[in-house]
């Protein structure tokens, strides 16, 4: 019997309910310590990864809850998360369980102390995020993250990843992943999953603790199948972002993975991380896009049943987020 660690404390896996596996709730990319790495002509706040309006986020979470959502994973890491106490308040007031990520996002947000600490020292910091929580409020992370900025794992991101892989072993948590934007086109198979798995194997970390994210931006079905066969979770988490892939194609890929026997390895999310993606008056779709549209696409184009949707949205997230220590 394991537990899932939320911002309100520990819950049993069966308490999690319907869960988006990859979202953002409370974030501010302006906190990034190495922001100069991002090559941008303009650096204004419009369209940036910033959620800083508490009452509005509460409204969005309540709408999600009313549609049947009971949990979500906020994959913002501590180094661009304004605070953790607000997340606990949002969870308490909305009723939505929120599981938050420790570890690291891409290099622009990796804190500079990573450069001077040893991998063992970084690992101890990460274990503290899980075991002790933040010093002021004791809010604890429930999984880890590795974000990769370029088309290969190198530099501070490699050092950070090795520390995360060791923290995963010692805490029993899962690790979710990110690959940087258009750089996926530089990567064989379209995502960093095989490279992440290689580091996991080198560190002796089990594959079933690896959640391969953003697979629906440049998918290769055979690569996804190979990762699932190893035991990794396959996360379709930019659903509704049609500049990457049509949702109908996502449904066909999910159907093919199911036919190959990997329904129990699939996770879903929408990765809402900008006000223009979330706020309807700015063209966004809220946290309810799966309810409003995608489940219908899954049924029509993928032949996915309601019971199979429940497996992907309830059973699989509960298993993935359960600490196995």
pLDDT of residue 35: 74
pLDDT of residue 184: 63
How many Å apart are CA 122 and CA 168, to the nearest integer? 13
Distances (CA, A) of 252 to 36, 234, 241: 39, 14, 16
Cα–Cα nearest to 143, from 229, 23, 246, 45: 23
How many Å apart are CA 322 and CA 37, to the nearest integer? 35
The backbone region for 218, taken as left when phi is positive above 0, alpha when psi lies in -120 to 50, beta otherwise, is beta
How many Å apart are CA 323 and CA 13, to the nearest integer? 10
Three-state helix/strand/coil letters over 141-156: CCEEEEEECCCCCCHH
pLDDT of residue 188: 76
Q: Give me the residues of the chain with pLDDT under 70, please.
A: 1, 38-46, 180-185
Cα–Cα nearest to 92, from 63, 62, 64: 62
| Nearest-5° Cα angle at 106, 209 to 99 | 45
Decide: helix, strand or coil at residue 107.
Answer: helix
Where are the chain's structural domains?
Answer: 4-321
Decide: helix, strand or coil at residue 20.
Answer: strand
pLDDT of residue 186: 72
Return the CATH architecture of domain 4-321. Answer: Alpha-Beta Barrel (3.20)
Number of alpha carbons in the 13 Å side-chain half-sphere of residue 188: 4
Q: Phi then psi for 269, rounded to 5 degrees?
A: -165, 180
How many Å apart are CA 47 and CA 324, to the nearest integer? 38
Cα–Cα nearest to 270, from 99, 49, 73, 14: 73
How many Å apart are CA 18 and CA 322, to the nearest integer? 15
pLDDT tens per residue, range 86-96: 999 999 999 99
pLDDT of residue 151: 83
pLDDT of residue 218: 87
Give Cα 238 to chain centroid, integer Å: 10
């Amino acid at each position: 019997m394991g537990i899932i660690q939320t911002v309100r404390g520990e819950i049993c896996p069966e308490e999690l309910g319907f869960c988006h596996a990859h979202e953002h709730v409370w974030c501010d990319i302006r906190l990034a310590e190495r922001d100069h790495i991002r090559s941008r002509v303009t650096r204004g706040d419009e369209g940036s990864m910033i959620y800083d309006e508490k009452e509005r986020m509460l409204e969005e979470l309540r709408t999600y809850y009313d549609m049947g959502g009971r949990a979500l994973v906020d994959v913002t890491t501590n180094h661009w998360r304004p605070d953790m106490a607000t997340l606990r308040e949002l969870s308490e007031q909305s009723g939505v369980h929120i599981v938050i990520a420790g570890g690291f996002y891409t290099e622009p947000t990796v804190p500079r102390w990573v450069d001077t600490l040893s991998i063992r020292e970084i690992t101890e910091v990460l274990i503290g995020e899980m075991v002790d929580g933040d010093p002021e409020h004791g809010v604890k992370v429930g999984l880890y993250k590795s974000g990769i900025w370029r088309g290969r794992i190198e530099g501070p991101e490699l050092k950070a990843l090795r520390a995360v892989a060791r923290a995963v072993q010692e805490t029993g948590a899962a690790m979710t992943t990110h690959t940087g934007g258009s750089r996926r086109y530089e990567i064989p198979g379209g995502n960093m999953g095989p490279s992440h798995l290689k580091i996991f194997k080198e560190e002796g970390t089990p594959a079933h603790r690896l959640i391969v994210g953003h697979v629906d931006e440049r998918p290769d079905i055979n690569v996804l199948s190979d990762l699932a066969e190893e035991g990794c979770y396959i996360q379709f988490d930019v659903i509704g972002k049609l500049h990457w892939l049509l949702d109908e194609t996502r449904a066909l890929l999910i159907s093919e993975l199911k036919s190959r026997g990997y329904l129990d390895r699939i996770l879903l999310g929408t990765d809402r991380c900008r006000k223009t993606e979330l706020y309807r008056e700015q063209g966004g779709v809220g946290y309810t896009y799966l309810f409003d549209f995608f489940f219908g696409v899954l049924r029509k184009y993928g032949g996915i049943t309601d019971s199979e949707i429940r497996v992907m949205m309830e059973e699989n997230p509960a298993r993935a987020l359960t600490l196995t220590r």
